[in-house]
Amino acid sequence: MDYKTFSGEGYTGGGIVKKGERTMYCKITVDLHQSHSVEQSACEHIYTDAIFSGAGKYDREAFINAVSMLGASITANISNSRLTIILKSIENNTGTLLKLFETMMQEPTFAGSEIIRIQKQVTNELREHEENAKAVALELFVNQLYAKTDRRYTNTPAEITKTLGLCTNKDLKKLHKAVLSGMWTVTIGSNAEVLKKVTKAIDACKKGTTPVILTGEHSQKAHIQKTILHNIPSKQNIEFSIGGALPLTLHHPDYLPFVFGMNVLGKWGGFTGRLMSTVREKEGLTYGIYAHTQTVEGTEQGYWRIMTFFAPEKSVQGLTSTIREITKIHKSGVTQAEYERFKIILRTQQDMLADSLTASVNSLHGYFCADFNLKEVEEYKNKLMSVTRKEVNNALKIYLDPTMLTISGAGPVANQKKEIQSIS
Amino acid sequence: MSKKQKKATSGIKLPGYTFLKVKGGFSHYILKTNGLQVLHKQILGTGVTTSNITYKVGARDEQAGESGLAHMLEHMLFKPTKHDLKRKVDSGAMHFERDVGCILNANTWKDRTTYFFSYPTEHFNRALQVEAERMTDVVITDKEFLPERNNVLSEFDMYFGDPYYALSVQMVCSAFHSHPYGHETIGFREDIERYTPEKLDTFYKNYYRPDNATITIVGDVSLSDALSAVKEQFGSLKNPATVVPRHDIPEPKQEGVRRAEITRPSNTNVLCLGVRHAGFPTQSWLETSTLFSVLAGGSDSILHKKLVDTGLATSVEGAIEPTSETNLGLLFITLAPQQNHKETEDTVMEILASITVKDITKLLKKTIQGALTAELFARGSSLRIAMELTEYVSADAWESYLKTETMLNAITPKQLIACKDALFAEDQMTIGYFKGIQ
């Protein structure tokens, strides 16, 4: 696989060229954040359906039909006020798909009848979301760390539902204008010929737009040691998020050592992390427990978080064991044996990307979104492998303070509320 | 036929192996000493290999009162073997992952249990050694079993809290009165709580044996290296003198619609239509899978347009498993607030009855195109190839993996209408309601 970069008016990015590749996979991300509000959130909820609800000569049915007839797909998702569009197709149909994409971006209709349909649909989905204990636990956790204007803050389903009706065709067009004029990060995986076609289509979409670089609000709250619980009686388990704010950006010298330490504590997926080998394997307290950093970017700080769940009657024991492991690694750091092992594990993680073009594109896209060029990507990956054990343990000592935890839980908490809250 | 063509169809000769077939880049062999089947496909230049071993044992092999045993045993295969105890390490499988950072996992289903590792090719021999050792030598004692049973109960609770899963459990119980597909793979909590190491050990010895397994190797390793390594690691393993226990339990004829209902505190209300479909990977199974996509596979599917777009439902989704025998396919409809289960059921049945060949024709073309694109993406990594092949291997039909495009293109609108009419006949259906109460 051959790595390339490109840039144009209002976009940057790159691609992975694979000779003879018969598929096209393209990711486009644009940052829309200025200042989070419930109105913005409601509009974003509607936008990701409305953008497919008619463009140019196509009404919604005709547009979806046109894409489906190619066996292709275009999906859109907004998370933390970042819009990501994914295009997937076989090589032969890429040209036609790109024409549809251009129409979608240049001439969206946002018809009134479609907006009404979507408002009802989103209302129903938000109602279902109230019982998604994992998502609710995360939202409670993040809302403890960040103020209402921060991109990561999530309004409640009830708040968003109330505001959905206020989102009009005019608001959607305004949001779409922000999408078109924002800086696009584009990553493509395919053969060389298809890469050219995609960049040509991006040029066409961006033609005539005035590039705007937004300055978003980042507002972290002062820490208050707190456990927030939300009762969802229909669930069997209590979902937890445990962690805290991380005052580091990607380029801070302590960040990669901290990431290394996080992997030792609870590498995401698999059984290599300490949390899986103790809380799950030895103590049998949960099916899954993992740790990682999130929303840390080139210019924005983020947080670290442990995600897990426990049966209600095991939740106190589970949390106690988890905090014990956090305390242990905070106090004593990673061992020499762990340090050596995880250097290999993290290297393997990189090497395994070669098995899948899509996985490679997803990984590369993350770096491009953080403004890395190819050389910087390589340097950054190598840097992770060359952090010292001293740096790792130092970073854990400073940033993984077990007395500064935020804990959130969602599920059948009613009978355990007092005991759980007494832990922190 | 040229020498190259001959080689392409006749495979390489390696002592100790019976060559079966070469097709579509895959080579199929049997290890003579013990009947272990080997399937191999080389993908050059990635530096990555996936090895996957599939045992023909699953939920269907469990007796009443021992539901979920196959799945529990799958968890135990990640515990120490007698070789690990000698080496004074935790389980070989976990040790492998912790040493090299490979991707590892396993899953159990109705007909089979499968284990896989994906790793840089330099670790190929070690991966096979782990599989060979744990095929017969896992030590099952209370020390390892009791905490792991808690993890399985934790997993059970994770699924059971989901309304769709909880309803599907009730539905398969109602649909199958005799056939062993009538319970979900993880089993019933009451059975899980009563497992013993002895029960697990008996099950292990009955089914974990070379002549009941296929090892699939996909990735950056040559055929000759793969076969040599398999022979080295597995060649000395023996089969028990007994035959593999199989239960041939026919399901009695269904007369009329069967029903299941769950009531729980919840915001969610679900209607589920269960239909009996043919085994995998037959043309009939593929027709059912395609029909499900036409009915509920995306925003231009029939039920999505008629129910979700009109505000009667929040979502529609189809689920069909690749089981070797007749199983229950499920169509889930999440009711919008204020909607009534019975009325929605009547509406759905009316919609189904009114579908014509004309309605199907355009949708079918799109669905097939979509499926072919998805297949192309799915066949882009050694891990995904091995995962998909598992189901074909489990059905003793790996070659059908190469026929997907032909089989999809052979489906006609008339066939789908006939499939729909047969599936949704009253004596084939099980209908379920999940009623959420506030």
In order, the DSSP letters of A102-121 are HHHHH-B---HHHHHHHHHH
Q: Does residue A172 sit in the same domain as residue A287? A: no
Give the whole-angstrom CA distance, residue A242 versus residue A308.
Answer: 8
Instruction: Mark whether A230 and A202 lie in a shared domain.
Output: no
pLDDT bracket for residue B113 (50, 70, 90): very high
C-alpha distances (whole Å) from B221 to each of B48, B122, B228, B229, B384 are: 8, 9, 11, 11, 17
Instruction: State whether A318 and A379 are in the same domain.
Output: yes
CB contact under 8 A, B311 and A117: yes
Residue ranges of chain A with per-residue pLDDT less than 50: none
Q: Does B116 touch chain A (CB under 8 A)?
A: no
> Inter-chain contact A270–B103, Cβ cutoff 8 Å?
yes
The answer to whether residue A211 sits within a structural domain is no
Question: Across the interface, do B157 and A121 touch by the CB < 8 Å criterion?
Answer: no
Residue A217 domain flag:
no
List all residues of chain B from 194 to 253 with a beta carbon under 8 Å from chain A.
219
**pLDDT on residue B362:** 85
Chain B neighbors of A121, CB-CB under 8 A:
308, 311, 314
Contact B266 A131 (CB under 8 A): yes
Judge whether A352 is closer than 8 Å to chain B, CB to CB. yes
**Residue B107 touches chain A, beta carbons under 8 Å:** no
Shortest alpha-carbon distance between residue A25 and chain B (Å) = 9
Half-sphere exposure of A125 (CA within 13 A, CB side): 16
Closest residue to B299, CB basis, from A64, A233, A269: A64
**What's the pLDDT score for residue B13?**
81
A88–B376: do the CB atoms touch at under 8 Å? no
Same domain? A196 vs A261: no
* Among candidate residues A137, A172, A206, the one where a domain is terminated: A206
Give contacts of A 357-376 with B, CB under 8 A: 357-359
- C-alpha neighbours within 13 Å on the C-beta side of residue B275: 22
Q: In terms of residue numbers, what domain contains A65?
A: 2-206
Looking at the fold, whether A187 and A252 belong to one and the same domain comes out as no
Residues A273 and A158 in one domain: no
| Tokens standing for residue B78 | 């990640």
Q: Do A236 and B161 touch (CB under 8 A)?
A: yes
- Shortest Cα–Cα distance, B137 to chain A (Å): 20
Lowest mean per-residue pLDDT among B245-249, B292-296, B330-334, B403-407 = B245-249
User: Domains in chain B, please, with CATH?
Assistant: 13-234 (3.30.830.10), 258-437 (3.30.830.10)
Which of residues 400 through 429 in chain B touch A, CB cutoff 8 A? none
Distance from CA of A9 to the nearest CA of B (A): 31
Global pTM reads 0.94
Give chain B positions within 8 Å (CB) of A349: 101
HSE, CB side, 13 Å, CA atoms: give it for residue A332: 7
A309 CB within 8 Å of a chain B CB: yes
CA distances from A364 to A296, A301, A377, A384, B83 (A): 16, 20, 8, 16, 41
For A24, the closest chain B residue by CA position comes to B377
Amino acid at B397: A
Determine, yes or no, domain membership for A286: yes
Total number of domains in chain A: 2
pLDDT of residue B3: 61
pLDDT digits (tens, 9 = 90+) for B50-89: 999 999 999 999 999 999 999 999 999 999 999 999 999 8
Residues of A in contact with B98 (CB under 8 A): 271-272, 341, 345
Of the residues A161, A177, A206, the one at which a domain ends: A206
Are A28 and A140 contained in the same domain? yes
Give the pLDDT confidence score for residue B9 in this predicted structure: 56
**Do A238 and A352 share a domain, yes or no?**
yes
Which structure tokens are listed for A180?
Answer: 């078109």
Would the pLDDT of B348 be above 80?
yes
B180 to chain A nearest CA, in Å?
A: 26
Q: Is the pLDDT of residue B334 over 70?
A: yes
Which stretch of DSSP H or E encloses residue B333? strand B327-335
- Give the H/E segment covering residue A260: helix A255-266
Out of A22, A68, A272, closest to residue B98 by CB:
A272
Residue of A nearest to B294 (CA): A68
CB contact, 8 Å: B379 with chain A?
A: no
Q: Are A240 and A234 in contact (CB under 8 A)?
A: no
Q: What is the DSSP string of B385-418?
A: HHHHHHHHHHTT-GGGGGGHHHHHHT--HHHHHH
**A101 and A238 share one domain:** no
With vertex at residue B368, the alpha carbon angle to CA A193 and CA B350, rounded to the nearest 5 degrees, is 145
Q: Out of A151, A176, A206, pick the residue that ends a domain.
A: A206
Q: Determine the Cα–Cα distance for residues B408 and A39; give it in Å rounded to an integer.
A: 46
B119 touches chain A (CB under 8 A): yes
Contact list in B for residue A130 (CB cut-off 8 A) is 267
Same domain, yes or no: A77 and A193: yes
Q: Could you tell me if B234 and B53 are in contact, meaning their C-beta atoms sit under 8 angstroms apart?
A: no
What pLDDT score was predicted for residue A357? Answer: 96
- A340 is a domain residue: yes
At residue B343, does pLDDT exceed 80? yes
Residue A363 lies in a domain: yes
**Tokens standing for A171?**
């608001």
Residue A339 lies in a domain: yes
- With CB atoms and an 8 Å threshold, state whether B150 touches A285: yes
Residues of B in contact with A311 (CB under 8 A): 153-154, 157
Amino acid at A150: D
Q: Cis ω on the peptide bond leading into residue A402 (within 30° of 0)?
A: no
Best of A16, A68, A265, A267 to substitute, by most chain B Cβ atoms within 10 angstroms, is A68
CA distance to A327, A420, B30, B346, per residue, from A319 (Å): 12, 8, 50, 48
Question: What b-and-e string marks burial along A88-123, b requiring 16 or more CB atoms within 10 Å of the CB?
Answer: bbbbebbbebbebbbbbbbebbbeeebbebbbbbbb
Asked whether the predicted pLDDT for residue B7 surpasses 70, the reply is no
Looking at the predicted structure, is the pLDDT value of residue B1 above 90?
no
Looking only at the bridges linking them, the beta strands covering B113-120 and A82-90 are: unpaired
Mean pLDDT, chain B, rounded, equals: 95
Could A234 and B362 be called an inter-chain contact, meaning their C-beta atoms sit closer than 8 Å? no
Using only the alpha carbons of chain A, give its radius of gyration.
23
Hey, is the C-beta of B142 within 8 angstroms of any chain A C-beta? no
For residues A384 and A268, state if they share a domain: yes
Domain containing A256 — which CATH number? 3.30.830.10
Q: Which residues of B touch A61 (CB under 8 A)?
A: 300, 305
- Give the minimum alpha-carbon distance from A66 to chain B in angstroms, rounded to a whole number: 9
Q: What average pLDDT does this structure show over B379-400?
A: 96
Residue A41: inside a domain, yes or no?
Answer: yes
B10, pLDDT greater than 90: no
pLDDT in tens, B157-208: 999 999 999 999 999 999 999 999 999 999 999 999 999 999 999 999 999 9
Q: Does A212 fall in a domain?
A: no
Residues A329 and A241 in one domain: yes
CB-CB: which of A25, A234, A351 is closest to B47? A351
